[in-house]
């Protein structure tokens, strides 16, 4: 399960240079293990910003962070570089992430920091890595540094309005942070708590099987949606929630942690309906989809069709929106509500 260790290494590189550091780190690791000529990586960032004269200090910080991260690799069963990587090598590692994917071959899909605002605000964010083979997601890893290990802490965070209260019952840093992963050829999805400091990694003894919630009554179901309104219509999801009998207020969560919440049974529904013109990218969903499905959940577009990861960088042909549910009963209710209310929406 070497991809689990890759996720740990990614998380180590988030000291302040964010996306580029993670992208360079994972690119170097994958290239070393599988050979540069055998690797196709689809990722969000390019080297243009780092290559300008005004970005010298930022580039220097990225180089420093990546080398510090890779120096820790042996702790997690991975090999460090024989020497520190230079600036050109770091830029080359980032620039290798230039694939556009497609229907044939193997393509790694990376979102180095999914939920940038969540990261900046000390809220939820994720490092997401997936492997697509001939258009099908076969492996997914979500590293979630701020995800509470206790379900009640996750719900507590998003139900209170006074910031001071957040520090009281669920502030212990040892009780948050995990890596969640799934592989198509293996049964189930798994969660591995993050390692803190020099604490010895106990693998696989500290990994546990996770599964979706068994709740299928909308009155008791919890649903998630994105925080930002620019790529999600909150009023439409509110209307759907009302029509199917969802009584609880939505949990507005940054990043693919929403997929993690469904897979682990912390919530039952995730709905996203983007406004006209917005195009969903494969790195925002690939890892989450396979994890939810492996945990027993259902993921489709709003027309009930599986998401298509074979068309390149974007989820082309997406029917209206994305529906993620813990089971088929809730899923069918929401799909029915979409068909019943779509013509009257402004999307």
Binding-site residues for Mg(2+) sit at 44, 111, 114, 284
H or E element in which residue 139 lies: strand 136-148
Strand partners for 136: 133
Cα 148 to Cα 157: distance, rounded to the nearest angstrom: 9
- Binding-site residues: 44, 111, 114, 284
Question: What phi, psi does 199 have (nearest 5°)?
Answer: -60, 135
Please say if 52 is a catalytic residue.
Answer: no
Q: Alpha helices, DSSP H only, in 96-209?
A: 116-120, 151-159
Q: Give CA–CA dist 70/73, Å, rounded.
A: 5
Q: Which residue is catalytic, options 46, 116, 123, 216?
A: 116
CA proximity to 311, closest of 42, 21, 1: 42
- Return d(Cα 192, Cα 173) in angstroms, integer: 15
Written as six digits, the tokens of 156 are 């507590």
Distance CA 266, CA 33 (A): 35
| Residue 25 is a catalytic residue | no
Q: Active-site residues: which are they?
A: 19, 116
């Amino acid at each position: 399960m070497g991809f689990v260790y890759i996720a740990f290494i990614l998380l180590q590189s988030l000291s302040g240079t964010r996306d580029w550091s993670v992208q360079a780190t994972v690119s170097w690791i994958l290239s070393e293990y599988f050979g540069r000529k055998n690797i196709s990586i689809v990722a969000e960032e390019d080297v243009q910003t780092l290559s300008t004269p005004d970005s010298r200090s930022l580039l220097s910080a990225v180089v420093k962070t990546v080398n510090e991260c890779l120096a820790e690799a042996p702790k997690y069963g991975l090999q460090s570089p024989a020497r520190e990587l230079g600036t050109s090598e770091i830029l080359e590692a980032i620039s290798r992430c230039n694939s556009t994917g497609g229907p044939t071959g193997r393509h790694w899909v990376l979102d180095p920091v999914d939920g940038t605002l969540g990261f900046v605000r000390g809220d939820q964010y994720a490092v997401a890595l997936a492997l697509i083979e001939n258009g099908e997601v076969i492996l997914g890893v979500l590293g979630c540094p701020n995800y509470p290990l206790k379900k009640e802490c996750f719900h507590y965070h998003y139900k209170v309005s006074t910031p001071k209260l957040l520090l009281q019952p669920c502030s212990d840093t040892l009780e948050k942070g995990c890596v969640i992963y799934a592989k198509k050829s293996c049964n189930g999805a798994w969660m591995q708590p993050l390692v803190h400091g020099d604490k010895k990694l106990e693998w696989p003894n500290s990994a546990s099987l996770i599964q979706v919630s068994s709740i299928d009554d909308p009155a008791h179901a919890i649903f998630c949606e994105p925080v930002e309104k620019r790529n999600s219509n909150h009023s439409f999801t509110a209307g759907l929630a009302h029509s199917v009998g969802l009584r609880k207020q939505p949990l507005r969560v940054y990043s693919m942690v929403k997929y993690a919440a469904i897979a682990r049974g912390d919530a039952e529904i995730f709905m996203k309906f983007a406004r006209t013109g917005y195009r969903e990218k494969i790195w925002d969903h690939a890892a989450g989809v396979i994890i939810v499905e492996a945990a027993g959940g259902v993921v489709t577009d709003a027309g009930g069709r599986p998401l298509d990861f074979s068309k390149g960088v974007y989820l082309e042909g997406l029917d209206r929106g994305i529906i993620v549910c813990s089971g088929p009963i809730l899923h069918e209710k929401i799909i029915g509500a979409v068909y019943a209310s779509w013509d009257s929406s402004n999307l």
